[in-house]
Amino acid sequence: MCGIVGYIGRRDATPVLLEGLRSLEYRGYDSAGLAVVHRNRLQVTRTAGRVQDLRDRLDGKTATKATIGIGHTRWATHGEPNETNAHPHTDTAGRIAIVHNGIIENAEQLRDQLTGQGVKLVSDTDTEALAHMIAAEATEGVTLEDAVRRALRHVEGTYGLVVLDIFQTNELVVARNGSPLVLGIGDGEMFVASDVAALVRHTKQVVYLQDGEVATVRAADYRTVSRPTTVEAEAGDFELGPSYQDFMRKEIHEQPEALRRALRGRLDERFATARLGGINLDPRQLRSIRQVKFLGCGSAYYAGQMGAVLVEELARIPSDAEPASEFRYRNPVVDPDTLYVAVSQSGETADTLMAVQELKRKGGQVIGAVNVVGSAIGRECGSGVFLHAGPEIAVASTKALTNMAGSFAMLALLLGRVRDLSAAAGQRIVSGLRALPDQIAQVLSDEDDIAEVARRFADAEHMFFIGRVRAWPVAREGAQKLKEVSYVHAEAYQASELKHGPLALINCSMPSVVLVPADELVAKNISTIEQIKARGGPVIAVTSADLPADLADATIRIPRAEPELEPLLLNVPLQLLAYHVAAKLGRDIDKPRNLAKSVTVE
Ligand code: F6R
């Protein structure tokens, strides 16, 4: 969703801002803009197009030698995605410029008040109101920071924002409430961004602003509540590199290494368990947990479902998953003996964050399973498991989901080993987990065959994804991935539910992807395939079992893993299937229409 960049230092600000905006493109946006101060005047450039359009528009104007500026990529909330509504917004006199992420909930009321005072609003946005309000507060003797603080007193809602004042060109003012904002500390220069992706090429030293914080940033000095930390990511992690044409495929192929990173130092052979220091629970506390509930949205919810199956199987504790977006609205009964796990790649998903806050208000015990260090959900939870998947740029989540499921396997193992899971069974899971990265690499080495299957079925208008028990969340995730990147309509069903309705839809133009792990349900799954075939439905089997050669129309084979862990392997061909269907259909794979990487608004 929206992205923010800011710069103050000695360099020409415009190219720095443009480069920063380019690295935030992956989040999804519909317009872009920037403002710099040149010869004491604000120069604002905006476009309803891409960052490249902004660059084209600036051509010839880039050598302004402005050393301070702010930029934005906008995902429309208030008002259409056109040039007038693009950020930065300014006050009438062109003194104050502001970029803003989040939503001002009382925007209508603020806009009406301003109009009543004779202010002429030019855009339909909530942000513009704030620019006028800050300008009104910035009277003589009042610092910009104080003016921003005073204006924000009237604001209800969420924001991450950066403010520029042409009368104070030695400082930017930043403020955060619910929308991420990070400072990058350079040598005599400072960077601001909503995402470290825009900072890592300049500096590894960053400060994550806290909610409620307002701060003044100067080229060589800043004051914040939080201390600087060093980011792990390298600039190259955010780049495509020469081997890939898009991030989704790159990230699919990064999975063996990403999972290895998540497992590193966390598997304990000696005691046949997992070590997850970040969850801060001792064995007695782990034993007192009576239920585990996973909360996340979209793919993170499906990963939570995989986690729930693992916890029930390995720890024999009742467990389930629920979309965080539903949980937060339904006045949930919060049980103090339940361990809630908030699952999120970005750590910024508004619905998941709200669910965590609701849980904390009701005294619930919540830990995070989060990929982005320093993100709001990670900090709100205070304890949990970092996923260590590395930056995920493609909108469609792949490696983060694999690391979520791998982390939940470790959580389930840990919970199991303080209960009735024997050391031998624990050892089996530890070895199974250790084997997974190489097994995923093996699946990836069959990409050409999987791509061939994808091309054969790419013209289908609808597809079913069928799985049962352990493979059911995988089927849901497979359908989600196909929908997202290829726009082919896909539905997931439990194999057992087919005959209760959906079988009516089976015909020769409705291919079904049937997941057949080599577990105790193989015979049942074979009979599911036969039922579909009997009605003329084409079947793509994804399996580690020895299925009869001519049972399915296409068979994708995966290595055999420990049965509880097999969902992690079954998922990988489905990612490749979705990817190659989308590629065949010529889709914009990394930026599917209407979707954003992190959904920071409701
Ligand atoms: C699917 C996808 C989304 C996200 C969901 C939650 O490929 O990426 O469904 O999984 O928006 O995002 P996070 O994990 O960042 O909370």
304 alpha carbon – ligand 1 mean position (Å): 12
**Spatial distance between the Cα atoms of 36 and 402, rounded to a whole number of angstroms:** 42
- Is it the case that residue 544 has pLDDT exceeding 90? yes
Contact 389, 370 (CB under 8 A): no
The residue type of 488 is: V
Tell me the three state secondary structure of residue 68: strand
**Spatial distance between the Cα atoms of 153 and 136, rounded to a whole number of angstroms:** 13
pLDDT of residue 188: 95
Contact 532, 506 (CB under 8 A): yes
CA 345 to ligand 1: nearest atom: 14
149 alpha carbon – ligand 1 mean position (Å): 33
Q: Which residues of 144-162 are buried (b: 16+ CB within 10 A; e: fewer)?
A: bbbbbbbbbeebebbbbbb
Q: What residues does 214 pair with on adjacent strands?
A: 175
Place of tokens 């996973």: 294
**For atom 5 of ligand 1, which residue has the closest CA?**
298
283 alpha carbon – ligand 1 mean position (Å): 32
- Is it the case that residue 243 has pLDDT exceeding 80? yes
Helical (H) or strand (E) element with 339: strand 338-344
Ligand 1 within 6 A of CB of 349: yes
Per residue in 23-50, pLDDT (tens digit) is: 998 877 889 999 999 888 999 999 998 9
**For atom 3 of ligand 1, which residue has the closest CA?**
298
- Retrieve residue 326's tokens: 């539903």
Q: Which residues of 502-532 are buried (b: 16+ CB within 10 A; e: fewer)?
A: bbeebeeebbbbbbbbbbebbeebbebbebb
Of 472, 484, 321, nearest to 398 (Cα)? 484
**Spatial distance between the Cα atoms of 160 and 376, rounded to a whole number of angstroms:** 12
Helix pair angle (13-23, 51-58), 10° resolution: 160
**For atom 7 of ligand 1, which residue has the closest CA?**
396
Percent of the chain with pLDDT over 70: 99
- Considering only residues 599 and 409, tell me which one the structure prediction assigns the higher pLDDT: 409
Instruction: Return the minimum-mean-pLDDT range out of 73-87, 405-419, 498-512, 553-567.
Output: 73-87
pLDDT of residue 601: 67
List the end-to-end C-alpha distance of the chain, in Å, as a whole number: 12
Q: How far is CA 446 from the centre of its chain?
A: 28
Tell me the three state secondary structure of residue 386: strand
pLDDT of residue 529: 96
Cα separation values, 160 from 179, 192, 195, 230, 491, Å: 5, 11, 11, 21, 37
Residue 336 neighbours by CB distance under 10 Å: 10
CA 298 to ligand 1: nearest atom: 9
- Is it the case that residue 602 has pLDDT exceeding 80? no
- Is it the case that residue 222 has pLDDT exceeding 80? yes
344 alpha carbon – ligand 1 mean position (Å): 7
Ligand 1 within 6 A of CB of 300: yes
Contact 399, 255 (CB under 8 A): yes
Mean pLDDT of 538-543: 98
Ligand 1 pocket test: pick from 1, 299, 392 the residue with the most ligand atoms within 8 Å of its Cβ.
299
398 alpha carbon – ligand 1 mean position (Å): 10
**Spatial distance between the Cα atoms of 575 and 397, rounded to a whole number of angstroms:** 9
Mean pLDDT of 180-205: 94
Mean pLDDT of 523-538: 95
pLDDT of residue 233: 79
pLDDT of residue 232: 79
Confidence band, pLDDT 50/70/90 cuts, at residue 61: low
**Spatial distance between the Cα atoms of 439 and 568, rounded to a whole number of angstroms:** 10
- Is it the case that residue 16 has pLDDT exceeding 80? yes
pLDDT of residue 60: 64
Place of tokens 């065959």: 449
The residue type of 218 is: R
Strand order in the sheet with 172-177: 89-90, 96-101, 159-165, 172-177, 214-218, 221-222
Ligand 1 within 6 A of CB of 484: yes
Q: Which domains does the chain show, CATH number per domain? A: 2-238 (3.60.20.10), 246-441 (3.40.50.10490), 446-602 (3.40.50.10490)
Per residue in 135-169, pLDDT (tens digit) is: 999 999 999 999 999 999 999 988 999 999 999 99
**Spatial distance between the Cα atoms of 113 and 90, rounded to a whole number of angstroms:** 17
Ligand 1 pocket test: pick from 345, 385, 474, 594 the residue with the most ligand atoms within 8 Å of its Cβ.
345
**Spatial distance between the Cα atoms of 87 and 67, rounded to a whole number of angstroms:** 19
Ligand 1 within 6 A of CB of 397: yes
Confidence band, pLDDT 50/70/90 cuts, at residue 401: very high
- Is it the case that residue 540 has pLDDT exceeding 80? yes
Per residue in 301-350, pLDDT (tens digit) is: 999 999 999 999 999 999 999 999 999 888 899 999 999 999 999 999 99
Ligand 1 within 6 A of CB of 322: no
- Retrieve residue 455's tokens: 């091309």
Ligand 1 within 6 A of CB of 14: no
Contact 560, 516 (CB under 8 A): no
**Spatial distance between the Cα atoms of 105 and 511, rounded to a whole number of angstroms:** 45
pLDDT of residue 237: 82
Per residue in 86-135, pLDDT (tens digit) is: 999 999 999 999 999 988 889 999 999 999 999 999 999 999 999 999 99
**Spatial distance between the Cα atoms of 430 and 408, rounded to a whole number of angstroms:** 13
321 alpha carbon – ligand 1 mean position (Å): 15
Instruction: Return the minimum-mean-pLDDT range out of 139-143, 183-187, 590-594.
Output: 590-594
Cβ neighbours of residue 246 under 8 Å, at least 6 residues apart? 240, 394, 589, 590
Tell me the three state secondary structure of residue 347: coil
Instruction: Return the minimum-mean-pLDDT range out of 226-240, 431-445, 526-540, 572-586.
Output: 226-240
**Spatial distance between the Cα atoms of 273 and 421, rounded to a whole number of angstroms:** 10
CA 396 to ligand 1: nearest atom: 7
Confidence band, pLDDT 50/70/90 cuts, at residue 575: very high
**Spatial distance between the Cα atoms of 344 and 300, rounded to a whole number of angstroms:** 6
Active site residues: 2, 597
Ligand 1 within 6 A of CB of 344: yes
Mean pLDDT of the residues in the chain = 93
- pTM for this model (two decimals): 0.85
